Amino acid sequence: MTKIEQYLLNTNKIKFFDTIHYDKNKKIIIKNKHLKKNNGAQMEAKNTEIQNEELKKLYQTITKCMKCGALCNSRKNVVFGRGDEKPDIVFVGEAPGADEDRLGFPFVGRAGKLLDKWIEKLNISNYYIMNALKCRPPENRDPLLEEKDNCREFFTKQLEILNPKIICALGRHGFSNLVDFDLKTPFGKVRNNIHYYNNIPVIATYHPAYILRNQKEEIKVIEDLEFMIRELGKLK
């Protein structure tokens, strides 16, 4: 069972006889094995099992947001977050992709599987995964500055509620939502250092989507995550 399946099972999004797989277009689908194949019954997971009341209220507010016409009118789901709601670590990316938009959870496509592999490899526990933006930009384009600004109050409130001990920024765009950072600056220069977001330590590493295209750089991510684990140990 994958981490995505385990999470959905634990939060009652799927039952033991459901499976998650990719269709020919590489979209995530949840199917019930007990239904006839020609039924084609599918369901999309919804973020309805949030336990923390403040997070639940924030999620409900975001679902009503229509500030960004291009994003809000084209989204299938608000993509809020997944994981422990009292986390030591929060992983922050920038914006959902097509798979995330379809399922309603962050990092559930190929990049998400790679992130889950790193987390499992390093025995990381008590973590939460989220994006700065809650809606998918059309055609997976970079979010506009106005769109980032529109979503910032939700992003900052979510982090305030979660109140992690440390934050791991995934990629230059995720990092720039946390720390004042010129996107023209080589990203490697911010690695192996502690930065701060509202007095919370932030470490930066490459986005898993980048590593899928540049696999030789994966060792650097492992080094960054090990650095994060050591720093977290100092905070406990």
Using DSSP's 3-state secondary structure scheme, residue 187 falls into helix
The residue that leads in pLDDT, 34 or 87, is 87
Rounded Cα gap, residues 7 and 61, in angstroms: 23
**Poorest-pLDDT segment among 11-15, 123-127, 164-168, 177-181:** 11-15
Amino acid in position 66: M
Q: In angstroms, what CA-CA distances link 128 with 138, 164, 232?
A: 25, 9, 15
The predicted structure's pLDDT at residue 236: 77
Indicate whether 48 pLDDT > 70.
Answer: no
| Residue of 214, 208, 9, 210 whose CA lies nearest to 118 | 208
- Mean pLDDT score of the chain: 85
- Going by the DSSP 8-state scheme, the letter that residue 38 receives in this structure is G
pLDDT of residue 7: 58
- Which domains can be identified in the chain, with CATH numbers? 47-235 (3.40.470.10)
pLDDT at 152 over 70: yes
Strand partners, 114: none
Given this model, what pLDDT does residue 34 score? 37
Largest CA distance in the chain: 55
* pLDDT for res 225: 98
Supply φ then ψ for residue 218, to 5 degrees.
-60, -35
Q: Which amino acid is at 139?
A: E
Q: Taking 60 as the threshold, does the pLDDT of residue 210 lie above it?
A: yes
User: Quick one: pLDDT at residue 123?
Assistant: 96
Per DSSP, the three-state class of 56 is: helix
Q: How far is CA 107 from CA 69, 73, 99, 101, 131, in A?
A: 23, 22, 8, 10, 9
**Segment 61-93, tens digit of pLDDT:** 999 999 998 999 999 999 999 999 999 999 999
C-alpha pair distances (Å), 71 with each of 33, 41, 47, 109, 160: 34, 28, 18, 19, 24
What are the tokens at 158? 């979510």
pLDDT at 119 over 90: yes
Question: From the CB of residue 24, how many other CB atoms can be counted at a distance below 10 Å?
Answer: 5
For the four alpha carbons of 120, 123, 129 and 131, in that order, the dihedral sign comes to negative
213/17: higher pLDDT:
213
Mean pLDDT of 18-27: 45
Name beta bridge partners: 29: 21
Identify the band that residue 211 occupies on the pLDDT scale cut at 50, 70 and 90. Answer: very high
What six digits make up the tokens of 56? 């639940």
Q: What is the residue type of 229?
A: I
**Which amino acid makes up residue 35?**
L
Return the percentage of the chain with pLDDT > 90, whole number. 72
pLDDT, one tens digit per residue, over 127-146 is 999 999 999 999 889 899 99
Q: Identify the band that residue 6 occupies on the pLDDT scale cut at 50, 70 and 90.
A: low
Q: What is the pTM of this model?
A: 0.80
pLDDT band at 183 (very low <50, low <70, confident <90, very high): confident
Lowest mean pLDDT among 44-58, 102-116, 160-174: 44-58
In total, the chain counts a number of residues equal to 236
